[in-house]
Amino acid sequence: MCLLLIYHSPETMGAVCAVVYLLTLIVFIPFPFYKDIVAATSGGGNRDVVIAVYQVETGRFLHKFPHSKVSPPKVSITIWICMLIGLPFPS
C-alpha cells in the first residue's frame, strides 16, 4: 500500500535525494575516524605498534574511541526518521 502511494505520487523526488544522501553518508562516515579505527586494529601501517591478542580481547581500546564524533550515524538515522515522517504527507 505504501509503495503504491509512492509510485502514484509524482512529487516524492525528495525521497530519492534523501536516500542517496543517506547512502553516501553511510559509505563515507568511517573515513574521518580512520586514525581511531586503524590504530585499534593491527596492520594499520604502523608496524611498530604490536597489539597483542589479550589487549584486544579485554576491549581496552574501545573506550578510547571518540564518542563525541560518533554522532554522524545518529544524525543519519535522524534524517531518515524525519524523511519517513515527511513521506506520508502528499504535497
Q: How far is CA 58 from the centre of its chain?
A: 25
Binding segment toward another protein, per CB under 8 A, in 33-41, 48-56, 57-65, 73-81: 73-81
Smallest gap, in angstroms, from Cβ of residue 67 to another protein?
Answer: 8
Q: Which residues contact 86 (CB under 8 A, 6 or more apart)?
A: 14
Q: Which of 12, 33, 42, 51 binds another protein (CB under 8 A)?
A: 12
- Residue among 38 and 79 whose Cβ is closer to another protein: 79
Q: Which residues bind another protein (CB under 8 A)?
A: 9-18, 20-21, 24-25, 28, 32, 67-69, 71-72, 74-75, 78-79, 82-83, 85-87, 89-91
